Amino acid sequence: MKIKDDQHMKWFRLIAFVVIIAASIACLFPFLLIISASVTKNEAIIRDGYNLIPTVFSLEGYQTVFRFPQQVLQAYGVTVLTTVVGTTLGLFFMTMAGYVLQRRDFKYRNFFSFMIYFTTLFGGGLVPWYILMTKYLNLTDTITVLIFPGLMTPFLIILMKNFIRSAVPDEVVESAKIDGANDFTIYSRIVLHLSMPGIATVGLFLALQYWNDWFTSSLFINDVTLYQLQYYLYNVINAMSFVAQMGAGTGVSLGDMPTESTKMAMAIIVTGPILFLYPFIQRYFVKGLTIGAVKG
């Protein structure tokens, strides 16, 4: 019976490996297509379409993006600053909020939890939010306006609260209190260490939110030096599309403007840095799967 079970397990592992490899190739295929298109001449893309292997190699897409390198690096700097500062402060506030809301001895935890959850269902709308930011808080054309809105995301607070509740046993907190630890000591020395997989997960969500944000810049930023990378490249694409359309009416071919290769080059430039972030926090995701699996 044991031999039969081992043979079934071998077939299961073989099928699982095949499915995982096929799924990985399917996920990797679009990214390889983008890389190939970013180093393909724009005329070849328009004529032959997208290919995994560049038909006519060209770096005109990257040359177009970096035609004004100072502005690109400046937009990169703004995006990195808002991502690092926003993610750090957001994790600090949301882990503290999650720890307080899961405490059973906090009298008003259900009330505040309901108020936070209520905002995920009903919002004030775009116009009141815009008036609050511009008229009452006076945050137009400031770095603060790019960081402040994402510091307390209701969904991430709820996620953090539930994770801390499952990762930090009440017995550990009680024993720390008996030893004379106050709430902030418990939070900094126990909760944060035991909740590291949840913090890594929420931190990744928060970093992606800040890194991919362009809508906030479009609403509140008029100063070009404060453009985030996403919004700067969005404006570049719009300008190129406009010039290409104007050129089409005057006899200039669309191939003279490397619109397609530039779009793909922008996608690589934008997604490249955030892809290098995942391997560093992958071990925390693996650790999060095993939390609670071993007792004692």
- 56: DSSP letter: S
Q: What's the pLDDT at 250?
A: 53
pLDDT, mean of residues 6-16? 83
| Two tokens, residue 37 | 């298109």
- pLDDT tens for 147-185 read 998 898 898 898 888 888 888 888 888 888 888 888 888
Residue matched to tokens 């040359």: 63
75 pLDDT exceeds 50?
yes
Q: What's the pLDDT at 294?
A: 42
pLDDT band for position 295 (cuts 50, 70, 90): very low
As a whole number, the mean pLDDT across the chain is 83
CATH superfamily of 62-290: MetI-like (1.10.3720.10)
pTM of the model: 0.80
The one-letter amino acid code at 98 reads G
pLDDT, mean of residues 4-29? 84
CA dist 92 and 184 (Å) reads 12
More confidently predicted of 8 and 141: 141
Nearest Cα to Cα of residue 197 among 158, 151, 153, 166: 166
| Two tokens, residue 282 | 């992958």
- pLDDT tens for 144-157 read 999 998 898 898 89
Q: What's the pLDDT at 246?
A: 67
CA dist 97 and 103 (Å) reads 10
In this structure, the number of other CB atoms found within 10 A of the CB of residue 294 comes to: 6
Residue matched to tokens 């931190």: 203
Lowest mean pLDDT among 75-79, 163-167, 209-213: 163-167
CA dist 234 and 239 (Å) reads 9
Q: What's the pLDDT at 4?
A: 54
- pLDDT tens for 95-127 read 999 999 988 888 888 899 898 888 888 877 888
pLDDT band for position 292 (cuts 50, 70, 90): very low
277 pLDDT exceeds 90?
no
Q: What percent of the chain has pLDDT over 70?
A: 88
